Chain A
Amino acid sequence: MSKIDPTTMWIVIIGLAIGSFALRFVFIGFVGDRPMPPWLLRHLRYTAVAIVPALIAPLVVWPTATDGQPDLPRMAAAAVALAVGVITKNVIAAIFTGAATLYGLLYLLG
Chain B
Amino acid sequence: MADTTSKSYFWKGFRDGSPFIFVAIPFGTLFGVFATEAGLDIVQTIAFSATVFAGAAQFTALQLLQDNTPTAIVLASALAVNLRVAMYSASLTPFLGAAPMWQRAFAAYLTVDQSYACSIMQFEKEPKMTVPQRMAYFFGSVTPITPLWILATYLGAVLGAQIPESWALDFALPITFLAMIGPMMRTMAHVVAALVAIIVALLTVAVPFNLGLLIAGAAGMIAGAQAELMMERRKT
Pairing of A with B: yes
Q: Which of B40, B75, B88, B228 contacts A16 (CB 8 A)?
A: B75
B48-A13 in contact (CB<8A)? yes
**Which of chain A's residues have a CB closer than 8 A to the CB of B60?**
55
Interface size bracket, B side: 35 or more
Q: Given A24-B108, A102-B171, check contact A49 B190 (CB 8 Å).
A: yes
B104-A29 in contact (CB<8A)? yes
**Which of chain A's residues have a CB closer than 8 A to the CB of B57?**
16, 20
B193 within 8 A of A: yes
**Which of chain A's residues have a CB closer than 8 A to the CB of B97?**
28, 31-33
Q: Given A42-B228, A86-B182, A102-B175, check contact A20 B82 (CB 8 Å).
A: yes
**Which of chain B's residues have a CB closer than 8 A to the CB of A90?**
183
Q: Which of A11, A44, A55, A57 contacts B71 (CB 8 A)?
A: A11
**Which residues between 52 and 88 of chain A lie within 8 Å of chain B, taking CB atoms?**
52-65, 74, 77-78, 81-88
**Which of chain B's residues have a CB closer than 8 A to the CB of A56?**
173-174, 177-178, 181
Identity of the chain A residue whose Cβ is nearest the Cβ of B186 in the assembled complex = A49
Task: Give the CA-CA distance A87 to B74 in the complex, in Å.
Answer: 32
B5 within 8 A of A: no
B98-A33 in contact (CB<8A)? yes
B202-A61 in contact (CB<8A)? yes
B4 to chain A, nearest CB (A): 26
Q: Given A13-B52, A46-B193, check contact A54 B176 (CB 8 Å).
A: no
Q: Which of B81, B89, B175 contacts A28 (CB 8 A)?
A: B89
B168-A2 in contact (CB<8A)? no
A45-B216 in contact (CB<8A)? no
Taken residue by residue from 3 to 33, chain A's Cβ proximity to chain B (1 for < 8 Å, 0 otherwise) reads as: 1101011111111110111011111110111
Chain B residues touching A, majority SS: helix
Taken residue by residue from 184 to 198, chain B's Cβ proximity to chain A (1 for < 8 Å, 0 otherwise) reads as: 110001100110111
How many residues of A are counted as interface, with CB atoms below 8 angstroms from the partner's CB atoms?
77
B78 within 8 A of A: yes
**Which of chain B's residues have a CB closer than 8 A to the CB of A41?**
87, 90
A45-B224 in contact (CB<8A)? yes
A10 to chain B, nearest CB (A): 7
**Which residues between 46 and 94 of chain B lie within 8 Å of chain A, taking CB atoms?**
47-48, 51-54, 56-58, 60-63, 65-66, 68, 71, 74-75, 77-90, 92-94
A95 to chain B, nearest CB (A): 5
- Please, could you name 6 A-B residue pairs with CB atoms under 8 Å apart, sorted by A? A14-B51, A24-B89, A26-B86, A31-B90, A43-B221, A59-B173
With A24-B111, A49-B197, A51-B197 known, 19 other A-B pairs at CB within 8 A are: A2-B68, A13-B51, A16-B51, A19-B75, A20-B53, A31-B90, A42-B225, A44-B87, A46-B224, A46-B225, A47-B221, A50-B220, A51-B81, A52-B56, A57-B197, A65-B170, A87-B182, A89-B182, A106-B168
